A and B are shown apart, each in its own frame.
Chain A
Amino acid sequence: EVQLLESGGDLVQPGGSLRLSCAVSTFTFGSFHMNWVRRAPGKGLEWVSTIDASGVDTYYADSVRGRFTVSRDNSKNTLILQMNNLGAEDTAIYYCAKSGHCGAKCSSFDDWGQGTLVTVSS
Chain B
Amino acid sequence: DIQLTQSPSFLSASVGDRIVITCRASQGISSYLAWYQQKPGKAPKLLIYSAFTLQDGAPSRFSGSGSGTEFTLTISSLQPEDFATYYCQQLDSFPITFGQGTRLEIK
Residues on A facing B (Cβ under 8 Å)? 35, 37, 44-47, 50, 59-62, 95, 97, 100, 105-115
Q: What residue of chain B has the Cβ atom nearest to residue A35's Cβ?
A: B96
* B96 and A100 contacting across the interface, CB-CB below 8 Å: no
* A44 and B99 contacting across the interface, CB-CB below 8 Å: yes
Main secondary structure of the interface of B (DSSP, over half): loop
B94 touches which of A46, A50, A109, A112 (Cβ 8 Å): A50
Chain B residues contacting A100 (CB-CB under 8 Å) are 46, 49
A62 touches which of B38, B46, B95, B98 (Cβ 8 Å): B95
B97 at the interface (CB under 8 A from A): yes
20 more CB-based (< 8 A) A-B contacts, given A44-B98, A47-B98, A108-B34: A35-B96, A37-B44, A45-B87, A45-B89, A46-B98, A47-B89, A47-B96, A59-B94, A60-B95, A97-B44, A105-B91, A105-B92, A106-B91, A107-B32, A107-B53, A108-B49, A108-B50, A110-B49, A113-B43, A114-B42
Q: Which of B87, B92, B95, B100 has the most CB of A within 10 A?
A: B95
* A45 and B38 contacting across the interface, CB-CB below 8 Å: yes
> In the docked arrangement, what's the CA distance between A45 and B36, Å?
10
Q: Total interface residues on B, using CB and 8 Å?
A: 27
Chain A residues contacting B61 (CB-CB under 8 Å) are none
B46 touches which of A60, A105, A110 (Cβ 8 Å): A110
B91 touches which of A37, A62, A108 (Cβ 8 Å): A108
Q: Would you list 23 pairs from A and B whose C-beta atoms are within 8 A, ordered by A residue?
A: A44-B85, A44-B87, A44-B100, A44-B101, A45-B87, A46-B98, A47-B95, A50-B94, A50-B96, A59-B94, A61-B95, A62-B95, A95-B43, A105-B32, A105-B92, A105-B93, A107-B32, A108-B89, A109-B36, A110-B49, A111-B46, A113-B43, A114-B43
